[in-house]
Amino acid sequence: LTDVGLGEFGRIARFFAPLARSLPGAFGLTDDGAVLDLGPGRRLVVTTDALVAGVHFVGDEPAGDVARKALRVNLSDLAAMGAEPVAYSLVTALPTSVDDGWVAGFADGLAADQAEFGILLSGGDSVATPGPITISITAMGAVGEAWLSRSGARVDDLVCVSGTIGDGALGLDVLRGRLALDSVDAAFLVDRYRRPRPRHRLGPALVGVASACIDISDGLLADLGHLAQASGVGARVWVDRLPLSPAAAAARERMAAFVDTRALAGGDDYELLFTVDPANRDKVLAIARALEVAVTEIGKVVVGAGVRAVAGDGTDVTPLSTGWRHG
């Protein structure tokens, strides 16, 4: 394997070591590992997600967007556990065709997100591959004595969701030429696909308030299904209540069924989907106001198993395929 640029050690020193500078226990990425002190009474929360070019991202995105998506899907998992971000370990497996400029842009994207989400690089590995660009991140966060799980939902709890739903999947539709919209709406949706907004402040704020939580990566109904199964309950979602962005609402005026299916079964939203005892409704609203995050009540937890989407007239409108699977 030849490399006419900085080489892997050079890239680590030049592009990645600065991302670890503020973390004393990362030792400038020069030791065998990092040492992290979570503080007294804190537990570690750890989550890992990998992205492969051509499978999890299109492949021609700006390098900084690839970096940010890789980091943000992990930050979204930390948020779903109610954990505050601490540090992350990064593996880049890059073909030799990837030049130092791409790596520089990749590191710039990470630097921007580190500042936005309060997380620092602790270490990782940088390897060559004859295959496609593959990025793997293990994100570490911290919680106290309590955190959010998928398994605490109880019958009659409210089902709530943050932000708007369906934008990520619709953004991918725009990129793949399956959906034509005016340029402002199209750009908004593509940005939502490429740069999901992990709810890193909402998640920790919901600890002790929400009864169960998951982030929406596979699709609203699929992930609600995971939560319901873990909790031993069923759930209903009212389609008329789904929060849509103005861009998704504009698309829905022409293609209502298509957009509803994307909102219910599309993936890549990275919003938080959580259940809450009705007695805690006001607490949730206060948290949403304080954090300036939209939270919408979209359904309820019921006795039994499985999830169903219900229209305003009571019709069952659950899509046959309720979620997607990446490769």
Q: How far is the CB of 35 from a second copy (least distance, A)?
A: 5
Q: Does residue 164 interact with a second copy by CB under 8 A?
A: no
- Identified binder of a second copy from the candidate list 70, 71, 89, 261, rule CB under 8 A: 89
Q: Do 154 and 301 contact (CB within 8 A), yes or no?
A: yes
Q: Does residue 80 interact with a second copy by CB under 8 A?
A: yes
Q: Does residue 231 interact with a second copy by CB under 8 A?
A: no
Q: Does residue 327 interact with a second copy by CB under 8 A?
A: yes
Q: Does residue 78 interact with a second copy by CB under 8 A?
A: yes
Kindly state the number of chain residues that form the binding site for a second copy, as judged by CB under 8 A: 66
For a second copy, the closer CB: 147 or 188: 147
Q: Is 193 exposed, middle or buried (0-12, 13-18, 19+ CB in 10 A)?
A: buried
CA dihedral 275, 277, 278, 280 (to 10 degrees): -100
Q: Does residue 122 interact with a second copy by CB under 8 A?
A: yes
Q: Does residue 91 interact with a second copy by CB under 8 A?
A: yes
According to DSSP, the β-strands at 120-128 and 134-143 are unpaired
Q: List the one residue out of 244, 219, 207, 217 whose CA is nearest residue 307.
A: 219
Q: Does residue 204 interact with a second copy by CB under 8 A?
A: no
Please give the distance of CA 140 from its chain centroid, rounded to a whole number: 15
Stretch touching a second copy by CB under 8 A, among 35-43, 108-116, 235-243, 249-257: 35-43
Stretch touching a second copy by CB under 8 A, among 63-71, 106-114, 139-147, 244-252: 139-147
Q: List the one residue out of 222, 226, 259 whose CA is nearest residue 243.
A: 259
CA dihedral 287, 263, 64, 113 (to 10 degrees): 10
Stretch touching a second copy by CB under 8 A, among 11-19, 106-114, 131-139, 163-171: 131-139
- Identified binder of a second copy from the candidate list 12, 20, 45, 235, rule CB under 8 A: 45
Q: List the one residue out of 247, 246, 248, 283 whose CA is nearest residue 266.
A: 248
| 56: CB partners within 8 A, 6+ apart | 50, 326, 327
Q: How far is the CB of 91 from a second copy (least distance, A)?
A: 5
Q: Does residue 81 interact with a second copy by CB under 8 A?
A: yes
Distance CA 247, CA 220 (A): 18
Q: Does residue 136 interact with a second copy by CB under 8 A?
A: yes
- Identified binder of a second copy from the candidate list 138, 162, 231, 245, rule CB under 8 A: 138
User: What are the tokens at 249?
Assistant: 């609402």
Q: List the one residue out of 82, 66, 43, 111 whose CA is nearest residue 199.
A: 82
| Residues within the interface to a second copy (CB under 8 A) | 1, 7-9, 25, 27, 30-38, 40, 43-52, 54-56, 77-78, 80-81, 83, 87, 89-91, 93, 122-125, 127-132, 134, 136, 138, 140-141, 143, 147, 149-151, 214-215, 226, 230, 325-327
